[in-house]
Amino acid sequence: MMARVIAQRTTDLFSAAAVSLIPLILVCYRILYASEPTLAAAICRPTLLAVCLMLFVVGYDSHITLSERKTLHVIGVLCGALLFTSLLAMNTERAMQEWIKLVAICSMAIMLCRPLMRRPIATAFGLSLVLCSIVLAGTIIYTYVSYMGFVIPTYPAVRVLKGAALDDDNIALNPLGFECVFTFLCGMCLIRHNRILWAVGATLLVISSVLTGSRAPLAVFLISATVLLILNGLQSGSQFLRASSALAGIALTAGVLIGLSLASPQTLSHWTEGRWDLWAVAMHKFAMHPLWGNGYLSVLDDATFLPGGYHSEYLTALAEQGAIGFAVVVYVFGCLLRRCYDVAFNPRFGSSNGQVVLFACIFLLVRASVELPGLFGTAQGPADFLAYFFLAIAMTRTPGMPRQIASSQTRSSSRLSALRPVRVGHAISGERSH
C-alpha cells in the first residue's frame, strides 16, 4: 500500500507541474495575440485543451462529485441555449464556429474541476497565476515605456497611448489591465495570504489603472469592494451594522438610478468614456431580433463597429443572443455568484479564501457591465479563458465539496486499513484531504 501512496504523490507532482503551465500558456497567448491573433489562437487553444485533457485523464475517477454535477449543469444550460440561438443567427456559419469555440472553453473548465479539488494541484495553479499576473504587469510597463519613455503618466497622454498601441501593435490595454488584476485574484483564491502578496496586488492594481489609459479597472475595483463590504455588513451579527448596510445599499442604488435619469446622453457618454453610445447601438440591434438575437459576432456587421464591440457582456448578450441568450447568461452569472456567496459565508465550508473568491466573482460581474471579454466567451482571448478557469475554481470550492471528497476517501481508507496498520490509512487520508 505504500507504493500506492508514492504513486499518488507522484501523480500530484506531475499534475501540479502540468497545471502550472496553463497561466504561462495564457501569457504566451497574450503576447502572440498582439502580433498574430489567428496564429495565437491556433497554437494556444489546442495546447490549453491538451493540458486540461491530460490533467483530467491523470486524475480520472468514476465517482462524480456534486461540484462537478453543478458545473456540468450550468455549462450545459449555457451551451444548449446558445446552440439554439446560433442556429437561428443571421450568419449561421459564423455563429456555429463561435459556439464550437465556446464548447471547447467550457470543456476545459469542466476538466479542471477534478484536479483543482486536490490541495497540491490547486496551490501550484494559484502560485503560477500570481507569478503570471506580475509578468502581465511587466508587459503593461514595457508597453508604456516603449511609447512614452520614463515620464510621469497623465490621463490624456495615456489615452492617446492606448489608441496608438492598439492601432500600431494591436495591443489592447483594456483587456490586458483586466487580465493582470483578475489573474492575481484567481491565484489568491487558491493560496495562503500574507501582507507581501496583498502589497503586490495593490501595485498591480495601480499599474493596470494608471498605465492603461482606462479608469475602468480602478472603478470596478472600488465598486466591487463596496458591494463586498455591504454584503459582509448584511451578514453581521450586529443589528446596527445590518441596518446600516441595507440603507447604504438602497441609498447607492437610488443614487445611481437618479443620476442616470437626470444626466444628459452627452454627460453619460463622457462618464462612460463613450460606452453609452455603444450601448444605445446594442439596444437598437436587440430591438431588431428581440427573441434570439442577431448571432455571435454580429457586431462586426455594424457600420459603427469599434474594437471591444458593445463594451458590455450583458448588452452584447441581448444584441447577439436576444432575450433567450441574455436570460441564460444572467442565469450562469447568478449561479456563479450564489456559489461564491456560499463559499464566503456558509459556516460549513469555513474557507479562509472565501472572501477573495466572492470579491473576484463580484469584480468579474461588475466588469461585465462595461467590458466584453469574460464569461460570455465571445472574444476567445486570454480574458475569456481566465474567466472560465475562475468558474472551475469557484465551483470546486463549494460547501459540499469537502464532504464529497471525504466520503470517497473514507471508502478508500476502509479498504486499505483492512490490509495495513491504521496509520497508513491516516497517511492516505491526510494526503487526499483538501
Query: pLDDT tens track of the chain, all 434 residues?
Result: 677 777 778 888 899 999 999 999 999 888 887 777 778 878 888 999 999 999 998 877 767 888 888 889 999 999 999 999 999 888 899 889 889 989 999 999 999 998 998 889 999 999 999 999 999 999 999 999 998 888 888 888 888 888 888 888 878 888 888 899 999 999 999 999 889 999 999 999 999 989 988 777 888 999 999 999 999 999 988 899 999 999 999 999 999 899 888 888 888 888 887 888 888 888 988 998 899 888 888 887 777 666 667 888 898 888 899 999 899 988 999 999 999 999 998 877 666 788 999 999 999 999 988 887 777 756 577 888 999 999 999 988 755 444 333 334 444 444 334 434 443 344 333 433 44
Q: Is residue 420 part of a domain?
A: no
What pLDDT does 207 receive?
93
For the chain, the domain total comes to 1
Closest CA to 144 of 121, 161, 167: 161
What pLDDT does 60 receive?
75
What pLDDT does 432 receive?
38
Closest CA to 325 of 305, 298, 353: 298
Closest CA to 324 of 81, 99, 77: 81
Instruction: List own/partner pairs for 225-234 with CB under 8 A and 24 or more apart.
Output: 225/359, 226/252, 227/362, 227/366, 228/355, 228/358, 228/359, 228/362, 231/341, 231/344, 231/345, 231/358, 232/355
What pLDDT does 308 receive?
66
Q: Is residue 405 part of a domain?
A: no
Measured from the Cβ of residue 224, the count of other Cβ atoms closer than 10 Å reads: 21
What pLDDT does 411 receive?
40
Q: Is residue 432 part of a domain?
A: no
Please give the span between the terminal C-alpha atoms of the chain, in angstroms, as a whole number: 21
For 219, the grid coordinates are 472603478
Q: Is residue 125 part of a domain?
A: yes
For 414, residues 6+ apart whose C-beta sits below 8 A from its C-beta are 425
Report whether 391 contacts 360 (CB < 8 A). Answer: no
Measured from the Cβ of residue 335, the count of other Cβ atoms closer than 10 Å reads: 20
**Domain of residue 345, residue span:** 2-399
Q: Is residue 170 part of a domain?
A: yes
Q: Is residue 391 part of a domain?
A: yes
For 155, residues 6+ apart whose C-beta sits below 8 A from its C-beta are 213, 215
Q: Is residue 434 part of a domain?
A: no
The C-alpha atoms of residue 94 and residue 105 are separated, in whole angstroms, by 17
Q: Is residue 166 part of a domain?
A: yes
The C-alpha atoms of residue 232 and residue 113 are separated, in whole angstroms, by 28
Classify residue 300 by its DSSP letter: G
What are the C-alpha distances in Å from 17 to residues 10, 124, 125, 390, 434?
11, 7, 9, 19, 18
What pLDDT does 430 receive?
40
Exposure b/e, 163-192, CB count within 10 A at least 16 = b: eebbeeeebbbbbbbbbbbbbbbbbbbbbe
